Chains A and B, each alone.
Chain A
Amino acid sequence: MEIHTDHHAPPPLTPKTDPVPPYDKQGDMTDEERVDAAFKGFVKDFGQDVAIHMEACIHCGACAHACHFYQTTEDPQYTPIRKLEPFRKAYQREVGPFAPLMRMLGIDSRPSVEELQEWQHLIYDSCTLCGRCTTICPMGIDIADLVKSARHGMYDAGLVPDRLSKITRNAEAKGSQFGTPEEFIETANAIAAAFNVDIPINKEKADILLTTAPGELEGHHKAFADAGKILNKLGYNWTMSSEAFEATNFGYLSGNRELQKRLTTALIDKAVEIGAHTVLLPECGHAYGAARWEWNLWYEKDVPVKVLHMTEFLDQEVGAGRIKLKPVGNTATFHDPCQIVRRGGLTQAPRRLLKALGIDLIEMKDHGDFGYCCGGGGGALANVRAAPLRHKVFDLKRKQIEDTGAERFITSCGQCRITFERGCQETGWDHPPESLMELVADNMID
């Protein structure tokens, strides 16, 4: 295989399909069966928080002003709360204040299969689960989390964008979106050899279980190698596992609960098995959402394992003085990955790292907890059909980045990097983002 040793080699472009279908279907269910499956899938998520939020909307439309898809198109169909219409209908039918009356009178207000098909575009293509809408809602409704819940029903109904569905099936078959354990070992060894870094795999006992994302195995090879380089330099007892290397969780993104569970428990169980106290996640945003903030969904009680994002790990190591850095001395702007910052609470960690690197940070107009998504989160990057919308968001981000006048453009999520790299390829813009972790790895003092 070809190993990319430069910073910005993106994974290969996904093939484009033309003409773009308005929706995709999987399986051979009848329309009635799809509606039934979606309805049951929605209902499974009607817990307390969902119920409170489904009841609380005052239809003010403020959420549109926070959504990058509405902001860049001014199309009201992209109003975030509207993306939940089929989910809301199911809620009203099952749990809402008039649900008993509706059931008694035999009123079937379940969403129709046509609505579900139409809403596929809104639930998948035009929502990156970035949660910016949550920050503007006067009622505090967590719309991003509701859209994620709505995807469960859509997945159960076989109404998922085909590309997402294919990735999901691949992950189900091989245990990883990237490939089999053997393919992982072959690729990891090739990258390790190319970068002259020792990458231990399948050690029986280790303190840290390092994980990765397919983007690092397919194109961001330097990021993969640099994670190993940093851990080796720190002298930790660490390993990767060919059975639990995949931090990316397409179950989380597609709405496939079973796959989400399988991928998360593979990491946690492996860490417990080898006595690791830490599962270290790569620079991947939604991996953090799935593994750090939702691992508990699949366990009855706590496990003695901490899940850390690479940015948070590096921040701890630099803060404790175990990593010392050479000053880089440039100006830079930072793209805040939504799942790490707004949804993950790591707003200051990357900023502390940039400061430790001696970088003069010039913030974008919208940044930190209120920064715009790259446009490729929540599975939108893998969803070929979503590309035209994604490009509009890229233009918005590009303007904000250019307006800073910063010399460097840095981020801490591989998916965001790929989204920007694709945008660069499409538009000829020559300002791809750098990885914060790679900057740290490049500037560690011996």
Chain B
Amino acid sequence: MELLDFARGPALTIAFAIFAIGVAWRLSSLLFTPRPHRRAEAREGTPSDAKAFVRGVFSRFIPHKTYRDVVFANHLNAYVFHIGLFIVVFLYRPHILFIEGFTGLSWPALPNTLVYGVGLVTVVSLGVALARRMTNPVQKILTTFDDYFSWALTVLPVLTGLLVVNGIGARYETLLALHILSVCALLIWLPFGKLMHTFLFVLSRGVTSVRLSRRGATF
């Protein structure tokens, strides 16, 4: 079996299975963790828990104006690589065709050249995030192995993708296989480290919003 066949076949299947089962396990284990206490009676006139939850998830996308100056650069960079990742994963024609092959679902793509540019910007943005993590005293003191490992597994698929489309470093099939394998590694790790925030931000924002909203406080 060629490396590309392995990557496209069993590797990707196993990676998707681990990703799906891992995410389901992590989320369900959190959702089924019992709440140790009843909640205090909510203040009169406060929104329902469901409304507070949804509002909380969306309201924290933009930092409050009190903090905008201090977190602006970091948030802006985070937005750049998050949106960049979304574009290269979901709006690149070969990826859409690949997903269509599995699911039958399809949607319009962005021009390839534009996506290549976005990929490059994403890599640079991730580089900036890494540099900040390695130099900022606050981030340095918080950083663990998970941060570096997750960073590497996030940047690798984008880098290898750029190598594939530019044909740099090896023959196309080998580069494509490495690209797919790097995606497999990302999928396998995602449920177990900080990359799980892809899903956890919803729960995390939601529960705090509900807690504070019941008090009539601002989230």
Give Cα A230–Cα B144 distance, bound, in whole angstroms: 56
Q: How far is the CB of B151 from chain A (nearest CB, A)?
A: 11
Proximity string of chain B (112-140) to chain A, C-beta cutoff 8 Å, 1 when within and 0 when not: 00000000000000000000010011111
Chain B residues in 8 Å Cβ range of A429 = none
Take A76-B141, A97-B26 as given contacts and tell me if A296 and B204 are in contact as well, using a CB distance cutoff of 8 Å. Answer: no
Chain A residues in 8 Å Cβ range of B192 = 97-98
Give Cα A370–Cα B191 distance, bound, in whole angstroms: 34
Chain A residues in 8 Å Cβ range of B172 = none
Instruction: Say which one of B30-38, B89-97, B101-109 lies at the interface with A.
Output: B30-38
Chain B CB within 8 A of A302 CB = yes
Q: How far is the CB of B73 from chain A (nearest CB, A)?
A: 12
Give Cα A431–Cα B203 distance, bound, in whole angstroms: 44
- A49 to B211, Cβ gap below 8 A? yes
- A296 to B39, Cβ gap below 8 A? yes
- B36 to A345, Cβ gap below 8 A? no
Chain A residues in 8 Å Cβ range of B194 = 57-59
Q: How far is the CB of B27 from chain A (nearest CB, A)?
A: 10
Q: How far is the CB of A277 from chain B (nearest CB, A)?
A: 14
Which residues from 76 to 101 on chain A have a C-beta closer than 8 Å to any C-beta of chain B?
76-77, 79, 81-82, 95, 97-98
Give Cα A49–Cα B136 distance, bound, in whole angstroms: 29
- B75 to A138, Cβ gap below 8 A? yes
Q: How far is the CB of A339 from chain B (nearest CB, A)?
A: 10
Q: How far is the CB of B20 from chain A (nearest CB, A)?
A: 15
- B205 to A76, Cβ gap below 8 A? no
Chain A residues in 8 Å Cβ range of B30 = 48, 51-52, 55
Take A59-B147, A295-B40 as given contacts and tell me if A47 and B67 are in contact as well, using a CB distance cutoff of 8 Å. Answer: no
Instruction: Say which one of B58-66, B157-165, B180-188 lies at the interface with A.
Output: B58-66
Chain B CB within 8 A of A344 CB = yes
A residues near B (Cβ < 8 Å) are 45-49, 51-53, 55-62, 64-66, 70, 76-77, 79, 81-82, 95, 97-98, 134-142, 145, 292-297, 302, 341-347, 366, 369-370
> Can you list 9 A-B contacts (CB < 8 A)?
A47-B34, A55-B204, A64-B138, A77-B141, A82-B141, A136-B67, A140-B207, A296-B37, A345-B215
B residues near A (Cβ < 8 Å) are 26, 29-31, 33-41, 43, 46, 56, 60, 63-64, 66-67, 70-71, 74-75, 78, 133, 136-144, 147, 191-192, 194, 196-197, 200-201, 203-209, 211-212, 215-219
